[in-house]
């Protein structure tokens, strides 16, 4: 057979053809196998390929092939020796979204309570998470505020932690899906980040490399979402579900509202503190949406794992596990196994040590009708909790506390947000950003439900 040249792949996609599997395979292999001395494919050709995909799209087969070839472009986690049910959750990113910190221990508690014949938890959650970027927070940055906690486990250590605890919370290793590193870096420079096809291949190749039996996707919609419209979020959710199912992983996507920060705190340590409070049985009223979403996502995971006959039954089970303290016991086990110092959970509030804070109060009375949640996320980033570019350090103690929720009636002078930073000079701009984005109305607003739609292999359900 004639060799496949990268330029021919680019030309065929540019001209609107459907690429053959061998062509996709050859192109991605060339990316992974090239060296400075042997430029099997150039950055210019990869950039042109990305733009051709951005403009022409991919059909279902091409997308499944691209995702699969990327998935196997480096190391993958092999969960088969554990003989357990592997399940994970992925969120497209939000503000104050800390559901992973509750979901991993909830699922681990169920898995620990029902071990396999080999004594391995019956459900395992190999959660490979990311860092904060742009207006959204990152699970790894939150976890790394726990002294000693190690997110950089290799795949052998991941397997050991799963055997012992039923869940592990780790970062991407450089050897998992190396093709995505190259593609993602070039997408950033070529205006092709927003392609739903490229997002699907990027996210799903990394999730499927965890060797999952099931995956629940939390695709955000609303002013704080990554995608600019409801339709685009829904299309992305459909592509991801179709791609997951094609590869043999049961996949469900929930379209969920991100019109305000989720829960009470948005930052790093303060988000860990909020979750520890909940797991220790203290439910602050402002954490209500966080608890509800965590239970619903866990409910779907438990249902797909065969531990609940419906997702609703799964959500009730998840709530019982939170209330009984079993999730907290599983949390302590996971954190200890990954080297974390458990003493910080004895009094989590006392570990919140911002050097500067300010309370933003309402300048008038009315109903809190809306806010640009992306702006709230950027305010959190400017306080020091997020990054301007990859690799920047983040502050453990910066962030905001939400005192009110959309739809609440507010009196003039009532506290809306408390801002925290480790540098007093960083308070002014975020305060102004928050002030500018809040809309108060005389009439009660209509608030969108937390769960907008559920997308599964059998279609969409309102």
Closest by Cα among 236, 241, 311, 248 to 458? 241
The secondary element (H helix, E strand) that includes residue 291 is helix 288-304
The secondary structure of 94-156 as a DSSP string is: -SS--HHHHHHHHHHHHHHHSB-TTS-BSEEEEEEE---BTTB--HHHHHTTSTT------HH
C-alpha–C-alpha distance, residues 310 and 304, integer Å: 9
Nearest by Cα to 360 from 415, 439, 411 = 415
Q: Which of 144, 394, 134, 378 is nearest to 261 (CA)?
A: 378
Nearest approach, Cβ of residue 249 and ligand URA (Å): 17
303 in active site:
no
When asked if residue 91 is in the footprint of ligand URA (CB under 6 A), the reply is no
* Identity of the residue, 121 or 196, whose beta carbon is nearer to ligand URA in the bound complex: 196
CA distances from 311 to 113, 169, 262, 305 (A): 19, 24, 21, 10
Pick between residue 4 and residue 31 the one whose CB is nearest to ligand URA. Answer: 31
Give me the catalytic one of 202, 287, 370, 402.
Answer: 202
CB of 407 to ligand URA, least distance (A): 30
Query: Rounded to the nearest whole angstrom, what is the least distance from the CB of residue 372 to ligand URA in the complex?
Result: 20
Q: Report in angstroms how near the CB of residue 194 gets to ligand URA at its nearest.
A: 9
8 belongs to the catalytic site: no
Q: E strands along 27-112, which residues?
A: 85-91
Cβ-Cβ contacts under 8 Å for 459 (sequence gap 6 or more)? none
Q: Which of 71, 89, 131, 206 is catalytic?
A: 206
Q: Is 352 a catalytic residue?
A: no
389 is catalytic: no
Tell me the Ramachandran region of residue 107: left when phi exceeds 0, alpha when psi lies from -120 to 50, beta otherwise. Answer: alpha
Residue (161 or 202) nearer to ligand URA, CB:
202
Supply the minimum distance, in Å, between the C-beta of residue 179 and ligand URA. Answer: 12
59: which 2 tokens? 């059909």
Binder among 64, 199, 216, 383 for ligand URA (CB under 6 A): 199
Nearest approach, Cβ of residue 186 and ligand URA (Å): 12
Q: Taking contact as CB under 6 A, which single stretch among the options 56-64, 196-204, 260-268, 453-461 is the one that binds ligand URA?
A: 196-204
CB of 167 to ligand URA, least distance (A): 20
Exactly one of 68, 129, 136, 202 binds ligand URA (CB under 6 A); that residue is 202
Q: Cβ-closest residue to ligand URA?
A: 202
Name the one range near ligand URA by CB under 6 A: 17-25, 199-207, 328-336, 380-388. 199-207
Q: Residue 13 has which token pair?
A: 């996609």
Residue 233: active-site member = no
Please say which residue, 177 or 419, places its beta carbon nearer to ligand URA: 177
Which of 88, 97, 180, 289 is the catalytic position?
180
Burial group, residue 462, by CB count within 10 angstroms (0-12, 13-18, 19+): exposed
List 69, 186, 203, 380, residue binding ligand URA (CB under 6 A) = 203
Q: Which stretch binds ligand URA (CB under 6 A): 158-166, 197-205, 375-383, 410-418?
A: 197-205
CA distance 457 to 253: 10
In whole angstroms, what is the distance from residue 300 CA to residue 308 CA? Answer: 9
Residue positions annotated with a catalytic role: 90, 180, 187, 202, 206
Chain residues binding ligand URA by CB under 6 A are: 199, 202-203
């Amino acid at each position: 057979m004639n060799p496949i040249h990268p330029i021919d792949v680019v030309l065929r996609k540019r001209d609107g053809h459907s690429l053959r599997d061998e062509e996709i395979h050859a192109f991605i292999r060339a990316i992974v196998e090239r060296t400075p001395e042997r430029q099997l494919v150039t950055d210019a050709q990869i950039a042109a390929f990305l733009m051709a995909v951005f403009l022409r799209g991919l059909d279902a087969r091409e997308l499944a092939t691209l995702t699969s070839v990327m998935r196997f472009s480096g190391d993958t986690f092999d969960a088969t020796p554990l003989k357990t049910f592997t399940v994970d959750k992925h969120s497209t990113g939000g503000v104050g979204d800390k559901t992973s910190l509750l979901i991993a221990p909830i699922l681990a508690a169920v898995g620990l309570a029902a071990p396999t014949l080999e004594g391995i938890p019956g459900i395992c959650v190999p959660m490979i998470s990311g860092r904060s970027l742009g207006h959204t927070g990152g699970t790894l940055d939150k976890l790394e505020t726990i002294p000693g906690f190690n997110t950089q486990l290799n795949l052998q250590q991941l397997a050991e932690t799963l055997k012992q605890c039923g869940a592990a919370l780790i970062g991407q290793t450089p050897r998992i899906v190396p093709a995505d590193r190259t593609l993602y870096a070039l997408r950033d420079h070529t205006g092709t980040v927003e392609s739903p096809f490229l997002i699907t291949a990027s996210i799903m190749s990394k999730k499927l490399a965890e060797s999952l039996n099931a995956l629940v996707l939390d695709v955000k919609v609303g002013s704080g979402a990554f995608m600019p419209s409801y339709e685009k979020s829904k299309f992305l959710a459909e592509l991801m579900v179709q791609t997951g199912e094609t590869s043999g992983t049961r996949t469900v996507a929930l379209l969920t509202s991100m019109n305000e920060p989720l829960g009470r705190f948005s930052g790093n340590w303060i988000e860990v503190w909020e979750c520890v409070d909940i797991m220790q049985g203290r439910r602050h009223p402002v954490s209500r949406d966080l608890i509800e979403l965590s239970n619903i996502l866990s409910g779907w995971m438990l249902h797909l794992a065969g531990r609940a006959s419906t997702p609703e039954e799964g959500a009730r089970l998840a709530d019982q596990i939170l209330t009984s303290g079993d999730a907290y016991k599983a949390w302590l086990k996971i954190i200890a196994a990954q080297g974390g110092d458990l003493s910080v959970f004895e009094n989590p509030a006392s570990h919140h040590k911002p050097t500067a804070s300010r309370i933003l109060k309402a300048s008038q009375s009315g109903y809190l009708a809306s806010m640009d949640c992306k702006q709230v996320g950027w305010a959190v980033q400017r306080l020091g909790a997020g990054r301007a570019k990859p690799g920047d350090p983040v502050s453990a103690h910066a962030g905001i506390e939400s005192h009110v929720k959309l739809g609440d009636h507010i009196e003039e002078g009532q506290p809306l947000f408390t801002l925290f930073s480790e540098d007093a000079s960083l308070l002014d701009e975020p305060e102004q950003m928050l002030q500018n984005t809040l809309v108060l109305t005389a009439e009660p607003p209509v608030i969108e439900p937390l769960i907008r739609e559920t997308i599964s292999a059998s279609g969409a359900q309102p």
